[in-house]
Amino acid sequence: MRIGIGYDSHRFDANRPLVLGGITIPGSPGLIGHSDADAIAHALTDAILGAAALGDMGRHFPDSDPAWAGADSVQLLHDAHAMVRHGGWTLNQADVTVIAEAPKLSPHVDAMRARLAEALGVDPGAISIKAKTNEGMGFIGRGEGIAVMAVVTLTVV
Ligand code: MG
């Protein structure tokens, strides 16, 4: 078994749609990024690559490459998992914590879990997504952006 950890943060931008966990959430500022800035997909991708010691997202999908401008980050997550599977590992389980003051994510969590599970070829029961606020502290507390932490386990294919 392998364990991987991933972290991501993005700054809010009112002129972009908010995409998290592969789901577009209406009524909230979006996030700044070269791709669709889906911080859940990015943290999960880094956790999966990390568990297999395959580097990080920046190595495989560099933000200097116009090919990834506006990219669907769930597709990048799928592609990273395919690399890991090629190396003999497959996702067993993922646990994600989103840290944001807003928006409220609970109405969207099951849709995110379903979308991510489909992209990874696992049961939605293998994907956990939890949301926390930062109790008003720091950049998250001031509403400047959000952060995501992810832990995954891989098992042999
Ligand atoms: Mg990111």
Query: Which one, of 50, 42, 110, lies nearest residue 72 by Cα?
Result: 42
pLDDT tens, per residue, the chain with 157 residues = 999 999 999 999 999 999 999 999 999 999 999 999 999 999 999 999 999 999 999 999 998 888 888 889 999 999 999 999 999 999 999 999 999 999 999 999 999 999 999 999 999 999 999 999 999 999 999 999 999 999 999 999 9
Q: How far is the CA of 142 from the centre of ligand 1 (A)?
A: 20
Estimate the crossing angle of helix 109-120 against helix 73-86, to 10 degrees. 40
Q: How far is the CA of 50 from the centre of ligand 1 (A)?
A: 15
Q: How far is the CA of 125 from the centre of ligand 1 (A)?
A: 25
Q: How far is the CA of 38 from the centre of ligand 1 (A)?
A: 7
Q: How far is the CA of 17 from the centre of ligand 1 (A)?
A: 15
Q: How far is the CA of 138 from the centre of ligand 1 (A)?
A: 19
- The CATH code of the domain that includes 119 is 3.30.1330.50
Q: How far is the CA of 75 from the centre of ligand 1 (A)?
A: 14
Domain of residue 148 covers 2-156
pLDDT at 149: 98
Q: How far is the CA of 44 from the centre of ligand 1 (A)?
A: 10
Burial 31-56 (b: 16+ CB within 10 A, else e): bebebbbbbbbbbbbbbbbbbbebee
Q: Structurally, how many domains does the chain consist of? A: 1
Q: How far is the CA of 39 from the centre of ligand 1 (A)?
A: 5
The predicted model scores a pTM of 0.97
Query: Which one, of 18, 6, 7, lies nearest residue 143 by Cα?
Result: 18
